[in-house]
Structure 1
Amino acid sequence: MDVIKDATVKRILVAGDVMLDRYWFGEVNRISPEAPVPIVRVEKREERLGGAANVARNAAALGVSAALMGIIGDDDAGNSVEKLLESSGIQSYLSRDPQISTIVKLRVIGRQQQLLRIDFEERPTEHVLRDKLNRFNSLLAGYDVIILSDYAKGSLVNVNAMIQAATEAGKLVLVDPKGSDFKRYAGASLLTPNKSELKQIIGDWASEEELIAKAQQLRQDLQIKALLLTRSEEGMTLFTADGVTHVPAMAREVFDVSGAGDTVIATMAVMLAQGKSMQEAVVIANRAGGIVVGKLGTATVTREELFPEAVQ
Structure 2
Amino acid sequence: MLDRYWFGDVERISPEAPVPVVKIARSEERPGGAANVARNASALGAQTTLISVVGEDEPGRILDKLLAAEHVRTSLHRDSSVPTTVKLRVIGRQQQLLRIDFETLPSHEILASKLADFERTLAEFDVVVLSDYGKGGLAHISRMIALAKDRGIPVLVDPKGDDFSRYRGATVLTPNRAELRDVVGRWYSEADLATRAQTLRTELGLEALLITRSEEGMSLYTDAGAQHIPAQTREVYDVSGAGDTVIATLGVLIGAHADIGSAVRIANQAAGIVVGKLGTAVVHPDELA
- Which residue pairs with 1:301 in the alignment? 283
**Match for 1:92: what amino acid?**
T
Q: Does 1:138 align with 2:120?
A: yes
Letter in 2 for 1:20: L
Secondary structure in structure 1 of the residue aligned to 2:123:
helix
Report the CA distance between 1:254 and its aligned residue: 1.0
**What residue is the counterpart of 1:163 in the other structure?**
145
Is the counterpart of residue 242 in structure 1 residue 224 in structure 2?
Answer: yes
The secondary structure found in structure 1 opposite 2:119 is helix
Structure 2 match to 1:63: 45
1:84 aligns with 2:66: yes
Distance in 2 between residues matched to 1:156 and 1:60, nearest whole Å: 22
Q: How many Å separate the matches in 2 of 1:36 and 1:239?
A: 47
Q: Does structure 1 residue 148 correspond to structure 2 residue 130? A: yes
Give the corresponding residue for 1:201: 183
For CA contacts below 8 A with separation 6 or more, give which structure has more relative contact order.
1
Tell me how far 1:275 sits from its aligned partner. Answer: 1.8
CA displacement, residues 227-248 of structure 1 (integer Å, 9 cap, x when unaligned): 0000000000110011111100
Aligned twin of 2:55: 73
Secondary structure, aligned partner of 1:25: strand
TM-fit CA distance, 1:109: 0.5
Where 2:32 maps in the other structure, the secondary structure is strand
| TM-score when normalising by structure 2 | 0.99
Q: CA deviation at 1:50?
A: 0.2
SS at match of 1:250: coil
Counterpart code for 1:138:
R
Asked whether 1:282 is paired with 2:275, we answer no
Distance 2:183 2:12 in 1: 44
Instruction: Give, in whole Å, the separation in 2 of the partners of 1:36 and 1:243.
Output: 51
SS of equivalent to 1:206: coil
Q: Cα offset for 1:80?
A: 0.6
d(CA) in 2 for partners of 1:306, 1:102: 33
Mapped to 2, the partners of 1:35 and 1:210 lie a distance apart of 47
Separation in 2, partners of 1:77, 1:122: 14
Q: Percent identity?
A: 57
Deviation at 1:273, TM superposition (A): 1.6
The number of residue pairs the alignment matches comes to 289
Runs of 4+ that moved beyond 4 A:
none
SS in structure 1 of the partner of residue 26 of structure 2: strand
Q: Secondary structure at the match of 1:81?
A: helix
Q: Which residue of 64, 67, 90 corresponds with 1:108?
A: 90
Residue matched to 2:165: 183
- Describe the SS at the equivalent of 2:226: strand
Deviation (angstroms), 1:270? 0.9
SS of alignment partner, residue 117 of structure 1: strand
Q: How far apart are 1:118 and its partner, in Å?
A: 0.4
Query: How far apart are residue 82 of structure 1 and its match?
Result: 0.4
Q: Give the Å deviation of 1:256.
A: 0.5
1:28-67 residue pairs with structure 2 within 5 A? 28-67=10-49
Displacement, 1:34? 1.4
Q: Any stretches of 5+ residues in structure 1 without a counterpart?
A: 1-18, 308-312
**Which residues of structure 2 form unaligned runs of 5+?**
none
* TM-score of the superposed pair, with normalisation by structure 1: 0.92
Provide the rounded CA distance (Å) in 1 between the counterparts of 2:138 and 2:173: 15
Residue 167 of structure 1 aligns with an amino acid whose one-letter code is K
